[in-house]
A and B are shown apart, each in its own frame.
Chain A
Amino acid sequence: MTPTAADHHVDSAASAQTLEARGVAVRYGTVQALQGVDLTLDSATITGLLGMNGSGKSSFFGAIMGTVKTTAGSVRLFGAAPKEARSRGLVAYMPQSENVDWDFPISVREVVMTGRYGRLGLTRRPHGRDRAAVGEALDRVGLTELASRQIGELSGGQRKRVFVARAIAQGARLLLLDEPFAGVDKASEATISALLRELRDEGCSILISTHDLAGVPELCDDVVLLKNRVLFRGEPSEALSPERLALVFGLESA
């Protein structure tokens, strides 16, 4: 990747943690989705956020992005206030499939271009360098040929790669991927995993939520077990011990 404005900003914050969450709590009415969540992330790591449905994974992402109101705690991104880090385009987000309108009249290339919007002016009219960055990102995820397709006309794995491409075009340093392997076949999962490892090796910090354990050991450097609060944080091999999994997933997979 060519150096970008975002890279420059990162240098100034290189010493700080990518993400630093302290005592984060989220409540919806009477449902306490998250309670006292402490989590720090370093650059150049892939962290798996494991928990069953309803354990608060998406809510945690929402808290990082400011789309979900926290009732307690604080979040710092790259040593700065979250709002500032987001405005610098440091944070990219891949939505859960069920939260995407796949019938929306928008092409693959247009979706990837939205990764550049933070750098564009009032009307978000793209310049040559933005088109080049989008082309490069599409190339890296192998979607160049399909760039003009409407996003619904892709397979499950290709759909996910669109959002990885968007993160690349954005030049983000923290990637939040919500269930990136749901509805994705094994071959595509391997392609996406390889891509994520490349991004990690370039210094990106990647947080992946999943309730599916397969693939976690090979992909993740670090695992967080979540059940409305952090139950465990550490090596994948330790996290995936039967006792720990029973704790997190209850009877479901014990």
Chain B
Amino acid sequence: MTEWISWLIEPLQFAFMARALLVTVVAALTCAILSVWLVQIGWALMGDAVSHAVLPGVAISYILGWPFAVGAFIFGAGAVALIGGVRATTRIKSDAAIGVVFTALFALGLVIISKTPSQTDLGHILFGNVLGVSDADIWQVLGSGAIAVSLLLLKRRDLTLYAFDRAHADAIGINTRWLSMLLLGLLALTVVVALQAVGILLVVAMLITPGVTAYLLTKRFDRMLWLSMAITVVCAVAGLYLSYYLDASAGGAVVLTQSAAFLLAYLFGPRGGVVVNWIRSRREVVAA
């Protein structure tokens, strides 16, 4: 028993681990909440796009000494606007429009960083540097996370209606354009929160995996939301401890833990679990 406790407490004796835990949990929680709507609307690719598109924003922020959140948000929201613009003015299919825009912005980020080698560490931005977050970073994460979480929870019924039946929302005079803008703005904000924890490349995992995992476990939206949050917090903590004791990438370990949770839900979940369905079908065969 005491061994367990010391196993749990040991990492937290290091200030950097305590901060990493805080940042990871806040980031994962914000992503987990947004995730349930993102996957139901079918915006997973949009999450991928926005998370990549913030790279030039982060790079410019470092160069100019701005808070990283400012540049990242500008480019995240800018990417959304650009994608919308390309879609509205051409006949290009939606996924291709998304692909063209975000890869261009990501490439722009790479070029900017390659021209300013001294100030920025590409690896930290791409893969996260949660063990090295500064106090300023923490405040940005907490501030952005608090705004995103409270707006999402406040408008959760409208967002669910938007995801389920946009036409009805329009028919009763709810401003769906505004709702979609709110959601995309919150996506940009959430990406800003999460890239500190797991880096640009893995943000999309945190935006998709919790939502689909919870979806496999329940048929009720409210429950899906709470499950997504609960599973994600457990995974964030477990992942970070794993990374500490295995001396492995923190962002990688957190996402991998979430993937493991998805795998469990996929295999054993009541709603679509392949093992459960297989056993059920075997029983039916035997019974027949």
Q: Which A residues contact B (CB, under 8 angstroms)?
A: 29, 62, 65-67, 83, 86-89, 91-93, 95, 99-101, 104-107, 110-111, 114-115, 117-118, 122-125, 150, 166, 170, 176
Known: A29-B91, A105-B219. A122 touches B154 (CB 8 A): yes
Are A110's CB and B221's CB within 8 A?
yes
Q: Which 4 A-B pairs have the closest CB atoms?
A: A87-B173, A124-B157, A150-B219, A86-B173
Residues in B205-258 with C-beta less than 8 Å from chain A = 215, 218-221, 223-224
- The count of residues in chain B whose C-beta lies closer than 8 Å to any C-beta of chain A is 28
Pick the residue among B158, B160, B173 that contacts A106 (CB under 8 A): B160
Residues of B131-165 contacting chain A, CB below 8 A: 154-158, 160-161, 163-165
Q: Which residues of A contact B157 (CB under 8 A)?
A: 117, 123-125
Given the known interface contacts A99-B167, A101-B164, A123-B155, the answer about A118 and B219 at a Cβ–Cβ threshold of 8 Å is: no
Which residues of B have CB within 8 Å of A92?
171-172
Contact of B158 among A83, A95, A124, A150 (CB under 8 A): A124
* B117–chain A nearest beta-carbon distance, Å: 48
Q: Does B170 make an interface contact (CB < 8 A)?
A: yes
- Give complex CA distance A17, B168 in Å: 22
Question: In the complex the two chains form, is B171's CB within 8 Å of A86's CB?
Answer: yes
Distance between A3 CB and nearest chain B CB, rounded to angstroms: 19
In the bound complex, do residue B172 and residue A95 qualify as a contact, i.e. CB atoms below 8 Å apart?
Answer: no
Contact A104 B164 (CB under 8 A): yes
Distance between A13 CB and nearest chain B CB, rounded to angstroms:
16
Whether the pair A65, B164 counts as a contact (CB closer than 8 A) is no
CB <8 Å contact, A95 and B167:
yes
> Could you tell me if A106 and B167 are in contact, using CB atoms closer than 8 angstroms?
no
> B40 an interface residue at 8 Å Cβ cutoff?
yes
Give complex CA distance A106, B165 in Å.
Answer: 11
Docked-complex contact B171 and A93, CB < 8 angstroms: yes
Whole-angstrom distance between the alpha carbons of A150 and B219 in the complex? 6
User: Distance (Å) between the CB of B274 and the closest chain A CB?
Assistant: 17
Within residues 67 to 117 of chain B, which ones have a CB less than 8 A from any CB in chain A?
A: 91
> In the assembly, what is the distance between CA of A110 and CA of B157, in Å?
10
- In the complex, what distance in Å separates the CA atom of A118 from the CA atom of B175? 11
Q: How far is the CB of A77 from chain B (nearest CB, A)?
A: 11
Do A114 and B161 contact each other (CB < 8 Å), given the known contacts A123-B154, A123-B155? yes
B158 near A117 (CB under 8 angstroms)? yes
Say yes or no: is B174 at the interface (Cβ < 8 Å to chain A): yes
B166 CB contacts on chain A under 8 angstroms: 67
Distance to closest chain A CB from B13 (angstroms): 42
Q: Which residue of A lies closest to B173 (CB)?
A: A87
Contact B171 A105 (CB under 8 A): no
Knowing A105-B224, A123-B155, say if A118 contacts B170 (CB, 8 Å): no
Enumerate B161-212 residues with CB–CB distance to A below 8 Å: 161, 163-174
Give Cα A92–Cα B170 distance, bound, in whole angstroms. 10
Establish whether residues A95 and B224, one from each chain, have CB atoms under 8 Å apart when the complex forms: no
Look across to chain A and name the residue whose beta carbon is closest to the beta carbon of B157.
Answer: A124
User: A170 contacts B172, CB within 8 Å?
Assistant: yes
Residue pair A86, B154 in contact (C-beta under 8 Å): no
The residue of chain B having its C-beta at the shortest distance from the C-beta of A95 within the complex is B167
B154 near A66: Cβ-Cβ < 8 Å: no
30 contacts between A and B (CB under 8 A): A62-B167, A65-B167, A65-B170, A86-B170, A86-B173, A87-B172, A88-B173, A89-B172, A89-B173, A91-B171, A91-B172, A93-B167, A95-B167, A100-B165, A101-B164, A104-B164, A104-B221, A105-B40, A105-B219, A105-B220, A105-B224, A107-B219, A115-B168, A115-B172, A117-B157, A117-B161, A123-B154, A123-B156, A125-B157, A170-B172
